[in-house]
């Protein structure tokens, strides 16, 4: 730790980076009963803290290494950090990016003068290609997190925080992907203020550091969620794992809805749109504050970046209310008789209805998909559901059902009574030309497609819900085709929301 403190204090970052403010989040603080500060790394020249580590690495290269050039693999902020640092130092830079990388990020890297090489659908493929080019061209590989100079550069964030806030700090919340930022901050904070907690925050579907610490060794996740793409890392780094295991007080997780709610909190307090990875630490801070109401000091969260694709805002807006525990989604079965809807709405009282989906279907029951806005869902949801059940309604809480929130809410009423042998699969398609045709060539030519729902969310992958008519004897062949296709998917055939609104 002492060695890293020296490295951090000796780091050269301010040739390109700026000292960012530690803003008070007054509205959020009043709501949760704490003093909350937000470290504004979104104000860096590339709108991310990544410029610190990238520049500190490049500026320390030998003259020979600078002359040869550098290379990295990245789909986002690290790529821009390396490209800008290389331009500042007059070093040639090659950035390998997946072909699924959104155009806004590719153009940002090209703007700084770097050569962009597009290859593969995933970061892993791009990473392997970058290491191959490193060997072939004699370049220096700049790792996004697992490098002492990169870690030291990121640690300068902690130097600024402690200078800017000399009063007691109870905890600093840091987003964790590979762990470079968390390792750097923890190394410095634990040396100067060991009483201050440093807590890592990961997406619940990409918690590689948490898994590694619990296992006592680095593990490789089978897959990671891509909503917070800036921290979607399948395996923690070697050096970052060593430091985080020794120095972090805890690693906690946040789901997509909590991240969306945190993005909204950041906007309401400081009028900036954080990217999902940038708001991740604040989501963890809010969860910690709810579970630990007694304060010993200020709570600080790192807004690590603001490279948000504009198209993703609609998804964030849809999910923020649920993440704030201000909205619930319910599937309610009511009698298909005159007056039922009036009685149902009366039971909801003066609460705002955010969504109401229904389509007539022959039979005695009507199935309603309804969104209800609440002041505090954690407190108000149980009595509301009980009141509906007391009236004889069947109620299914689908607020946490990913398929219901992404797809079913837009498809209510599409039952096909004569349809048999339907299998429902939820996919993540790479957002690139030819992805659908590849699916149809690999799977669609053999099975009748009974349902297909897709919605673009401005990410580098698309969410797709597919129905296929597959006789029982064909399941093994379907599974073999899906394995060869290698698109991530979940079998949702038994999903309760699907069976209620769309199934036989």
Q: Which of 7, 50, 190, 264 is catalytic?
A: 50
- 454 has a pLDDT exceeding 80: no
Question: What pLDDT, on the 0 to 100 scale, is given for residue 391?
Answer: 87
Q: What is d(CA 151, CA 159) in angstroms, rounded to the nearest whole number?
A: 13
Task: Give the pLDDT band (50/70/90) at residue 230.
Answer: confident
Half-sphere exposure of 65 (CA within 13 A, CB side): 13
Residue 10, C-beta contacts closer than 8 angstroms, at least 6 positions apart: 152
Q: pLDDT, tens digit, for every residue of 465-504? A: 888 889 888 999 999 989 988 888 999 999 998 888 888 7
Give CA–CA dist 443/489, Å, rounded.
13
- Express as a percent the part of the chain with pLDDT over 70: 94
Encode pLDDT of 342-371 as tens digits. 778 778 877 777 777 776 556 678 788 888
Residue 458 has pLDDT above 60, yes or no: no
CA 154 to chain centre: 20
- pLDDT at 26 (0 to 100): 97
Q: Residues 165-182: pLDDT tens digits? A: 999 999 999 999 999 999
459 confidence band (pLDDT: 50, 70, 90): low
Which is more confidently placed, 292 or 319?
Answer: 292
C-alpha distances in Å from residue 96, one per residue of 74, 209, 286: 6, 25, 36
| Distances from the Cα of 259 to the Cα of 91, 193, 205, 253, 286, angstroms | 37, 28, 12, 10, 10
**208-214, Cβ contacts within 8 angstroms, sequence gap of 24 or more:** 208/233, 208/234, 208/235, 208/236, 209/176, 209/179, 209/182, 209/236, 209/240, 209/241, 209/244, 209/251, 210/251, 210/252, 210/253, 212/236, 212/241, 212/245, 213/241, 213/244, 213/245, 213/248, 213/251
More confident call, 96 vs 379: 96
Architecture of domain 415-501: 3-Layer(aba) Sandwich (3.40)
Return the bridge partners of 301, or none. Answer: 38, 173
What pLDDT is stored for residue 324 in this prediction? 75
- The string over 306-341, giving b where at least 16 C-beta atoms fall within 10 Å of a residue's C-beta and e elsewhere, is bbbbeebbebbebbbbbbbbbbbbbbbbbeeeeeee
Cα dihedral 54→59→65→70 (10° resolution) = 20
The mean pLDDT value for 209-230 works out to: 92
Residue 394 near residue 332 (C-beta atoms within 8 A): yes
pLDDT at 152 over 80: yes
- Kindly give, in sequence order, each residue whose CB lies less than 8 Å from that of residue 33, ignoring residues fewer than 6 positions away: 289, 293, 295
Average pLDDT of the residues of the chain: 89
The pLDDT of residue 460 is 64
**Separation of alpha carbons 53 and 142, rounded Å:** 10
**Secondary structure string (H, E, C) spanning 6-73:** HHHHCCCCCCCCCCCCEEECHHHHHHHCCCEEEEEHHHCCCCECHHHHHHHHHHCCCHHHHHHCEEEE
Q: Which of 495, 370, 485, 460 is nearest to 97 (CA)?
A: 460
* Whole-number pLDDT of residue 258: 94
Residue that is written with structure tokens 């525990």 in the block: 325
Topology given in CATH for the domain delimited by 325-400: Alpha-Beta Plaits (3.30.70)
Name the region of 465 (left: φ>0; alpha: ψ -120 to 50; beta: rest): beta
- Please enumerate in sequence order all residues whose Cβ is within 8 A of that of 362, keeping only pairs 6 or more positions apart, or say none: none
253: nearest Cα among 171, 176, 178: 176
Whole-number Å distance between alpha carbons of 35 and 272: 19
State mean pLDDT over 57-63.
97
- Looking at residue 444, what is its pLDDT? 64
Of 39, 286, 304, 405, which is the active-site residue?
304
| pLDDT, tens digit, 9 for 90 and up, residues 65-121 | 999 999 999 878 999 999 999 999 999 999 999 887 777 788 889 999 999 999 987
Residue bearing tokens 């030819």: 434
Does the domain at residues 1-322 carry the CATH identifier 3.40.50.1100? yes
CB atoms within 10 A of CB 394: 13
202 phi/psi in degrees, rounded to 5? -125, 155
pLDDT tens readout for residues 272-316: 999 999 999 999 999 999 999 999 999 999 999 998 877 788 778
The string of DSSP codes covering 243-304 is HHHHH-SEEEEE-HHHHHHHHHHHHHHH-----HHHHHHHHHHHHHHHH--S-SSEEEEEE-
Asked if residue 159 has pLDDT above 90, the reply is yes
Could you tell me the pLDDT band of residue 325, with boundaries at 50, 70 and 90?
A: confident
Q: Which residue has the higher pLDDT, 446 or 73?
A: 73
**DSSP assignment, residue 164?**
H
Summarize pLDDT for 404-439 with one digit per residue, the tens: 888 887 777 667 777 788 899 998 877 666 676 677
Tokens of 13: 């970052």
Q: Where are the domains of the chain?
A: 1-322, 325-400, 415-501
- The pLDDT assigned to 33 comes to 94
pLDDT at 153 exceeding the cut of 90: yes
* Size (the chain), residues: 504
For residue 488, the 8-state DSSP code is: -
Q: For position 145, what pLDDT does the model report?
A: 95
**Is 50 considered catalytic here?**
yes
Residues facing 397 on adjacent strands: 330
Pairing of strands 197-203, 250-254: parallel
Helix (H) or strand (E) holding 390: helix 377-390
């Amino acid at each position: 730790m002492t060695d890293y403190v020296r490295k951090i204090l000796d780091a050269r970052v301010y040739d390109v980076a700026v000292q960012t403010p530690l803003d008070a989040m007054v509205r959020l603080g009043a709501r949760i009963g704490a003093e909350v500060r937000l470290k504004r790394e979104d104000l860096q020249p590339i709108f991310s803290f990544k410029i610190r580590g990238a520049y500190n690495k490049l500026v320390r290269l030998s003259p020979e290494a600078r002359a040869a050039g550098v290379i990295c693999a990245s789909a986002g902020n690290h790529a821009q950090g390396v490209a800008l640092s290389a331009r500042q130092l007059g070093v040639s830079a090659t950035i390998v990016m997946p072909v699924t990388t959104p155009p806004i990020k590719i153009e940002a890297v090209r703007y700084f003068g770097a050569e962009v090489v597009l290859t593969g659908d995933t970061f892993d493929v791009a990473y392997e290609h970058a290491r191959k080019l490193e060997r072939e061209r004699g370049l220096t590989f700049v790792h996004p997190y697992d490098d002492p100079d990169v870690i030291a550069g990121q640690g300068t964030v902690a130097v600024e925080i402690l200078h800017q806030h000399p009063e007691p700090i109870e905890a600093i919340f840091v987003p964790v992907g590979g762990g470079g930022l968390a390792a750097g901050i923890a190394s410095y904070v634990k040396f100067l203020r060991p009483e201050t907690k440093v807590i890592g925050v990961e997406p619940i579907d990409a918690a590689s550091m948490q898994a590694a610490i619990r296992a006592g060794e680095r593990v490789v996740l089978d897959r990671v969620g891509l909503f917070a793409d800036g921290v979607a890392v399948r395996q923690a780094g070697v050096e970052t794992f060593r430091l985080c295991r020794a120095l972090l007080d805890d690693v906690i997780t946040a789901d997509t809805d909590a991240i969306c709610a945190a993005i909204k909190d950041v906007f309401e307090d400081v009028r900036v749109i954080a990217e999902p990875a940038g708001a991740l630490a604040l989501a963890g801070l809010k969860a910690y504050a709810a579970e630990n109401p007694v304060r010993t000091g200020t709570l600080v969260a790192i807004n690590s970046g603001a490279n948000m694709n504009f198209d993703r805002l609609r998804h964030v807006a849809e999910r923020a209310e649920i993440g704030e525990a201000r909205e619930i989604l319910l599937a309610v079965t009511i009698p298909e008789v005159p007056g039922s809807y009036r009685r149902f709405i009366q039971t909801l009282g003066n609460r705002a209805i955010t969504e109401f989906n229904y389509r007539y279907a022959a039979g005695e029951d009507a199935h309603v998909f309804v969104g209800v806005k609440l002041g505090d869902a954690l407190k108000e949801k149980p009595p509301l559901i009980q009141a509906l059940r007391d009236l004889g309604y069947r109620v299914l809480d689908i607020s946490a059902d990913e398929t219901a929130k992404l797809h079913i809410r837009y498809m209510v009423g599409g039952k096909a009574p004569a349809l048999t042998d339907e299998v429902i699969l939820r996919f993540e398609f790479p957002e690139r030309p030819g992805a659908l045709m590849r699916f149809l060539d690999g799977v669609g030519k053999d099975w009748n497609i009974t349902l297909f729902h897709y919605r673009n969310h401005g990410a580098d992958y698309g969410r797709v819900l597919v129905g296929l008519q597959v006789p029982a004897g064909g399941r093994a062949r379907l599974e073999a085709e899906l394995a060869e296709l290698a698109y991530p998917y979940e079998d949702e055939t038994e999903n309760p929301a699907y069976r209620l609104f769309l199934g036989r």
